[in-house]
Amino acid sequence: MLDAVGGIHDGIGNAVWNHWKKDNQNTKVMFLDNLSERDKKELLFEVADIFAFFLNIPIALGFKSEDVYNALMTKIIENQKRQENGY
């Protein structure tokens, strides 16, 4: 994912998250709007990959996918209520 933040296809290049790379400082001030549509798509796929990986952890521990889903939805609703109430 960090490679995608720098723009894998149309940006600075990969591994820019390494502090010794010459363009490392440039990526610290980049925003999503700085990426091409192709790189935004790549970044989104990388985020989805990470999300899927983390969702598989409780399933690997023996939780049912329905339980993971219900817990996630409960937490999302709780966080929305907190935001509405200025938490």
pLDDT at 71: 94
pLDDT at 34: 77
pLDDT at 83: 94
pLDDT at 48: 93
| pLDDT tens, the chain, 87 aa long | 666 665 666 666 665 666 666 666 666 667 778 778 888 888 888 889 988 998 889 989 999 989 999 999 999 999 999 999 987
**Which DSSP string corresponds to the chain?**
-HHHHT-TTTSS-TTTTSTTSTTHHHHTT--GGGS-HHHHHHHHHHHHHHHHHHHHHHHHTT--HHHHHHHHHHHHHHHHHHHHTT-
pTM for the model: 0.59
